[in-house]
Amino acid sequence: MIALASDHAGLPLKKEIMTLLGSMGLEYKDYGTYTSASCDYAVYAQRAAKAVASGECERGILCCGTGIGISMAANKVKGIRCACVSDCYSAKLTRMHNDANMLAMGSRVVGVDLGKMIAEIFLTTAYEGGRHQHRVDQIMAIEAGEDLTNL
Ligand code: RB5
């Protein structure tokens, strides 16, 4: 199950991502927003991010105007590693190296075709593990309040 969320600005791209997920045979849950009325991205980011953090959804895709605000909000939820991406290389590498569990994109930044390509790469690329695990663990250690500054 893929968690989706957007604000009003990200809604058009989120709708395209829904079509993509359908064609990939992937189920999704849309945590809003559902209309083009102006709204606050943090509200929807938190809903989708909580679904990913709890394990209810395996991954999440978020859209706002830039992808930035909604990714910042998602990353405040414990357990979330959300990457704001606007190119295919970063989409692949954030899965391979960072084990990102959420992707954020800006519908005012990427076009529909690129956005769909980025989402497909994000959803089909495996985490490499190995030497990267230690680094991902460090990210999560910071979240848990550990002090890495003396390393
Ligand atoms: C909404 O106008 C816009 O600020 C929002 O979608 C997003 O780009 C914020 O980061």
Which is the catalytic residue, given 57, 63, 64, 82? 64
pLDDT at 109: 98
Q: Which residues contact 60 (CB under 8 A, 6 or more apart)?
A: 2, 3, 4, 5, 48, 49, 51, 52, 74, 82, 101, 102, 103
- How far, in Å, from the CA of 13 to the mean position of ligand 1? 13
| Domain CATH for 84 | 3.40.1400.10
pLDDT at 46: 98
pLDDT, tens only, 15-73: 999 999 999 999 999 999 999 999 999 999 999 999 999 999 999 999 999 999 999 99
- How far, in Å, from the CA of 91 to the mean position of ligand 1? 21
Residues with C-beta less than 6 Å from any ligand 1 atom: 7, 9, 41, 64-66, 68-69
pLDDT at 5: 99
Catalytic-residue membership of 88: no
Distance CA 100, CA 12 (A): 23
Residue 151 domain-assigned (yes or no): no
Peptide bond into 33 cis (omega under 30): yes
Residue 96 domain-assigned (yes or no): yes
Q: Which residues contact 39 (CB under 8 A, 6 or more apart)?
A: 7, 8, 33
Residue 150 domain-assigned (yes or no): no
pLDDT, tens only, 116-132: 999 999 999 999 999 99
Domain count across the chain:
1
Distance CA 52, CA 12 (A): 22
Q: Which domain covers residue 136, as residue numbers?
A: 2-143
Residue 149 domain-assigned (yes or no): no
Q: Which residue among 64, 72, 75, 86 has the greatest number of ligand 1 atoms within 8 angstroms of its CB, and so is best to mutate? A: 64
- How far, in Å, from the CA of 31 to the mean position of ligand 1? 17
Global pTM value: 0.98
Residue 121 domain-assigned (yes or no): yes
Residue 60 domain-assigned (yes or no): yes
pLDDT at 126: 98
Residue 103 domain-assigned (yes or no): yes
Q: DSSP letter for 25, please.
A: T
Residue 69 domain-assigned (yes or no): yes
